Each structure stands twice: as structure tokens, then as C-alpha cells.
Amino acid sequence: MVAQLQPDSSIPSHIYELATYHDVGIPLKMQRKRLILIFHVLALIVGIAEMVWLGYTIYGYIAFTILSHTYPNPASVPDSQASNYFWLQAIHDNFWQNNLQEIAVWLRLLSFRSNFYSAYRTKLYLCIEGLLKIYKKKVEAVRWNEIKELYIPGGNLTRLVKQDGSDFILPRSLMVGRDKRITNVIIDEVTRCLLPGMLASYQDGQTIAFGTLEINQQGISRPGKMVYWRQVGDIALENGKLTIFYSQPGTDSEQSSIAFTGKWHTWQKSLWSSEKWPNLPVFVALVTTILDQRSADQVVQEPQSQQPRIVKETAALLKHRSRRRKRIAIAAATISIIGALSLAIGIPVYQSVQEQQRAARDTQLLINYYSKLAHQPFTAQVPGEHCGDGKKFWLDDDPKNVYTCQKNGLLMTTKDLGYVDAEWFTFVPDTLSTTDAFSSVSYFPHNYRVQVKATILSGEQSTCVSVGVHVQDFQGNQSFDICANGSWAYYRCYMPCNAYALFANGNLPYAHKTYLIRVDVTDNLLSLSVDNTKVTSVQDSTYTSTNQLELALYGSQNPTEPITALFSDFSYTPF
């Protein structure tokens, strides 16, 4: 989830240096302070109003004292002053009660100011590999894999515990406004790191403790209560409540017959007491994973027509009726599990001659369809596997780097400096491209043009963007590179593409941040144009077929700042 976040351009440059020094990766998000500042302004307004009201009550107390000497008998007050007299009398008679209320309000304001002032002074940065916190010029950092516990009292993520037992305190304002997203990312990343180890321990027969909650291969236990896995249908951590759906068997033995009826039980109505239960989100994720595995095993072991309604389905239906959760699609999940397990365990599937002929015909129809697509123009303002129209034609090169869809283009951010960022354009889905029927077919025509606008946002002068053509199924290719210093180069990569050979290079008459790069391709001639001006033509007939096109970014492996580039206005035109 953290890799999907769009980097915040307002983060100061020295924060990147601190993040690199503390080994927490590239900073992506900064804790927002706007709402905290609004709360401070509102508290100030309330404080001023309370001061005005206090001054008015003191004035009213003194004014009534003077007025009561003038008119000791209320009956002697003139009609023109009666309303003012009785109003001041009410203030006088309730003066001390009002003051006590004022003191209570001021104490609340002081407490409010203390909590939010410390949050306002704390600068928290969400990074790719962890968190960076600055408070009163003290810098503290923690990596995701260094965290062993998290606590969410009151639903607020306020404390992380490192592997060495030390605390990493978070501002209580993280659950305010946009900062909820930071909270969710932290929880997801900690869960991602802790869940595999806990699941392995469970499968080895060990007991995993979450404070007074425990999970083992028998079931879930808490003081005075044991719920066996056959009873459990679902679990949820929603709206400040930890709830679990389970049935009530007639006996406590797991081997006993169980009537598949049950209800949702609230184990914790409020998360204010969750200090005794660390890692509650991880606990819920572990229980959910175990339930899914047990459901998959049940599907394989028992014929579907003979299975009774499982507890998980009953839990989902009841939760849907109570409008607390959407209904789980049991049938679709079951079919998916059966299909996945069939492939995993190698269940043989026998086809008749007619079925084989039908499969060959369908394959040929798909080949014709993709060939037709490849002979039509294609454009994408925001290229990329997860961006805009035509996203099915794109493949991310390596998950170790970051690809972010923006309104004005695809942002590439180099996370792992040992890898080249790349997006691959193709007409065949990745699930088919490696099969025998499709890998031997070249869908691209022999003559075409590819164009893209590339903007180098950060990096040193050696940072380059690249357009690759004649890509041979992720092996050999030819590429034109344009760099931040205004240089260009033509490279050829031989199969299996473990080294690049430089065949031509030069310099543009200028060095810009943004380049409009166009490459015209034929079997033996490749032409490069930059900003609608022809730069060079290269005679090279090494490759004549094309399986993919490539947009890439690379730079120094020891950069002083992050390497990022924006790709936009991509177009492919067959001739």
C-alpha cells in the first residue's frame, strides 16, 4: 500500500537526507497540520469568548450590587429598568456557579491545547521503508521490520513498540482528517511484516499471544473462554469494536457435532482498553487468513453438494442483514478456490477431441484480435499499468520501484537503485505472453512510430529517460536514451540482455527537463527526433520483430537526491 502513495512534492530536501541517513527510504507523505491549526484557532476563539463572558459576569455582579443598594426592594424598581434589574440579578445569583463552569471549560481547553500543541510541534513523515519523526529537533526513525507491536486505544494508533522494547510514540491527531490514511498505511505495513512469521508459527503448532488473546491450532482463547475453529465464522474490527461470529456447540469438544447456528459476539465494545491486546489488526488478519485456509481445505475434502452451510457464510449473511457489512460472495469464492487448488495440486483435466479443436479455434481468434489491435493507433495521456485508458496494455517491470498515476502523467520513482524503472507496452496480457501459442507470435507491424513526453523531475545530470523498441519478450532490445545533461545515446541489448552495447551517442543543442521523444522504426533503420527535431538515424537490422515497447528511467546508483521522472502523452502509430 505504501508503494502506491503519490510522493508529496512539498517535503523539504533535508528530510530526504535524514530519511536516507536513518535508512527508512524515500519520504512520501507528511502529517497534515491544517486541521490541527484549525482546532487551535477554534480553541482560541472559544477562549476569547469565555474571557468576554467572564468579564461580563464580573460587570453584572458589580452592577447588581450597586443597583441593589439603590433599590433594596425589587418592587421599587421603575418599570423602565425592571428587565435590566432582574437580568443582572440572575447573573449575580449564579455568579459562582458560572465561574465554576468557566474553570471547567478552561481546564478542558488547556488539556486540548497540550495534546494538540505537542502534535503540532511533531513532524511525522511516512517513508517507503518506515517512519521519520522530528520533535523539538530530536529525530527518531523506525523501519517497518523493526516494529513488533502496535496499539490502538480508542481506535487511535498512538504507540509502536520496536523489537528492542523501546516505544515509538505517534501524535494522537493521526486519526484526524487526511491523516487517517497514514494510520491505515502504518497498520497495513506492520501487518505485512508480522503476519507471515505468525502464520508460520501457527502452522508449526505454536501458540501466538496477543496479550490475553491466544491463537493455536485448536482455536482462539481468552481468559475463561475457548472458541474452537469449527465454531468460528468471521471476525471484524470495525467502528471501535472487536466482534467475532461463532456458534454455540452443545459440548466443548471440537470433534462434537455442531449446529451451524450462531451470532456476532462483541469481545470488546470500546478500544480504550486495547492496551492489554497489542496488534489487534494483525490478530484479525491472522484469524481471517486461517479461516480462509480452513474453508479452502473443506472445499477440497468434501463434495460441494454435501457440505452444510458453513459458519462463515452464516456470519456474512447476518452481518449483511444488520447493515454492518456487505455480503460475502461465497459461491464465487468457492469456485475460485477450487480452480486455484486444481492448478496447484495438478488435478488432470482431460479434453475431448472436440474440446481441443475448440481451444485451438479460440486461440487463433485471440491471435487475430491482438494482431488487429497492434495495427491500430493507440494514445494514453497517462501511460502505465494502473493508469487511465488502455491500462491493460501495460506491464510494470519491477515491484521494487514505485509507479504513481497522476493527472498529468505517470510518475516513476527509483526505490531500488540497482534496478531500472520501466513500463512495458504490449498487446498481449502477461498471463498469455509466456504460453507457447502466443510467445512465438509478433503482433507489432514492422514499421511504426512511438512518441512520449518525458520530464526529469529530480536526479543528477546523469539521470536519463529511455524509449526501447524491438523488445524481444523482455530480452534483447534497442533503445534511445535522453539525459538531463542534454546528451543522447543509442544502445543495443543482446539476448538474454545481461549487458548493453553503446553504438551511437551525441549531444542535443540544449539541456532541458522536459523532452518530447519520437522514434520511427523499420526493419533496418531507426530514427530519433527530440522536440520535433530530427537528431539521428541508425542503421541496425539486428531485430526486426517487436513483442513490447519500453519506457524507462535510470540514473546514478549513488544519487544525492531521489530519481524521478514523469511520462505523459504516449502515442503508438503503426505505418
Same domain, 95 and 155: no
Final residue in a domain of this structure, among 121, 137, 162: 121
**CATH code for the domain in which residue 22 is found:** 2.30.29
pLDDT, residue 400, reads 66
Task: Let me know whether 283 and 338 are in one domain.
Answer: yes
Q: Is residue 324 part of a domain?
A: yes
Residue 358 in domain:
no
Q: At 446, give phi and psi (nearest 5°).
A: -75, -25
* 504 or 152, higher pLDDT: 504
Contact call for residues 118 and 134 (beta carbons, < 8 A): no
519-548 pLDDT tens trace: 999 988 999 999 999 999 999 988 888 888
- The string of pLDDT tens digits covering residues 458-496 is 888 889 999 999 988 757 889 999 999 999 999 988 766
Lowest mean pLDDT among 67-81, 97-111, 361-375, 508-522: 97-111
pLDDT digits (tens, 9 = 90+) for 333-354: 444 444 444 444 444 444 456 6
The rounded percent of the chain whose pLDDT value lies above 70 is 71
What pLDDT, in 10s, does the model give residues 79-128? 777 778 778 888 888 878 777 777 777 776 666 555 555 656 788 888 88
Q: How far is 144 from 28, CA to CA, in rounded Å?
A: 15
> 96 and 213: one domain?
no
Q: Which three cell numbers stand for residue 150?
A: 502496535
Is residue 505 classed as helix, strand or coil in its secondary structure?
Answer: strand
Integer Cα distance of 130 and 140 in angstroms: 11
Read off the C-alpha cell for 104: 471547567
Look at residue 365 and tell me whether its pLDDT is greater than 80.
no
Predicted local confidence at residue 437, as pLDDT: 63
pLDDT for 399: 63
Residue-level pLDDT at 569: 93
Q: Is the pLDDT of residue 202 over 50?
A: yes
Answer yes or no: is pLDDT of 69 > 60.
Answer: yes
User: What confidence score (pLDDT) does residue 116 get?
Assistant: 58
Residues 263 and 187 in one domain: no
The grid coordinates listed for 56 are 461580563
Q: What is the DSSP string of 262-308?
A: EEEEEEES-GGGGGGSTTHHHHHHHHHHHHHHHHHHHHHHS-GGGPP
Q: What is the pLDDT of residue 148?
A: 94
pLDDT of residue 184: 85
C-alpha 451/C-alpha 272 separation (Å) is 57
Give the pLDDT score at 517: 97
Per-residue pLDDT tens over the stretch 277-336: 889 999 999 999 999 888 777 655 554 444 434 455 555 545 544 433 333 334 344 444
| First vs last C-alpha separation in the chain | 41
Query: Rounded to an integer, what distance in angstroms lies between the CA atom of residue 94 and that of residue 202?
Result: 65
Number of domains, the chain: 4
Q: Are 14 and 112 found together in one domain?
A: no
Residues 411 and 517 both lie in one domain: yes
Between 507 and 341, the higher pLDDT residue = 507
Mean pLDDT of the chain: 77
pLDDT exceeds cutoff 50 at 570: yes
> Is residue 514 in a domain?
yes
pLDDT at position 430 is 61
Q: What are phi and psi of 359, to 5 degrees?
A: -65, -40
Q: Over 90: is that where the pLDDT of 10 sits?
A: no
- The per-residue pLDDT for 338 is 42
Q: What is the pLDDT of residue 139?
A: 92
* Residue among 225, 165, 229 nearest 202 (CA): 229
Which of 201, 230, 264 is at the close of a domain? 201
So what's the pLDDT on residue 111?
A: 63
17-30: pLDDT as tens digits? 898 899 998 888 88
Mean pLDDT of 403-414: 88
| pLDDT of 189 over the 70 cut | yes
How far is it, in rounded angstroms, from Cα 504 to Cα 537? 10
Q: Is residue 388 part of a domain?
A: yes
Task: Say whether both 337 and 435 belong to one domain.
Answer: no
Enumerate the H helices of 22-130 as residue ranges.
Answer: 34-70, 79-93, 95-121
Q: What does the pLDDT average to over 390-408?
A: 75
Question: Could you tell me if 55 and 110 lie in one domain?
Answer: yes
More confident residue, 101 or 140: 140
- The pLDDT score that the predictor gives to residue 41 is 67
Q: Say what the pLDDT of residue 487 is.
A: 94
Q: Write down which residue in 159, 179, 201 finishes a domain.
A: 201
Q: Is residue 489 domain-resident? A: yes
C-alpha cell at position 116: 494538540
- 145-169, pLDDT tens digit by residue? 999 999 887 667 878 999 999 999 8
Taking residues 492-502, what's their average pLDDT? 73
Q: Are strands 208-210 and 27-30 parallel, antiparallel or unpaired?
A: unpaired
- Residue 142 is predicted with a pLDDT of 94
Residues 393 and 497 both lie in one domain: yes
pLDDT at position 419 is 63
pLDDT digits (tens, 9 = 90+) for 421-450: 888 888 877 656 556 666 667 788 999 999
Among the residue ranges 224-238, 290-304, 392-406, the one predicted with the least confidence is 290-304
Question: Quick check: is 367 in a domain?
Answer: no
Average pLDDT on 490-505 reads 79
- Is residue 71 in a domain? yes
Smallest CA-to-CA distance from 477 within 538, 534, 543 is with 543
Residues 506 and 536 in one domain: yes
Domain residues for the domain of 396 are 373-574
Picking from 418, 405, 423, the residue whose alpha carbon sits closest to that of residue 465 is: 423
* C-beta separation of 497 from 487 below 8 A: no
pLDDT of residue 526: 95
Identify whether 302 is part of a domain: yes
Ramachandran class of 109: left when φ > 0, alpha when ψ lies in -120 to 50, beta otherwise? alpha
CA-CA distance, 503 to 480, in Å (whole number)?
Answer: 10
Residues 506 and 567 in one domain: yes
Q: Compute the average pLDDT of residues 181-198.
A: 89
Both 249 and 270 in a single domain? yes
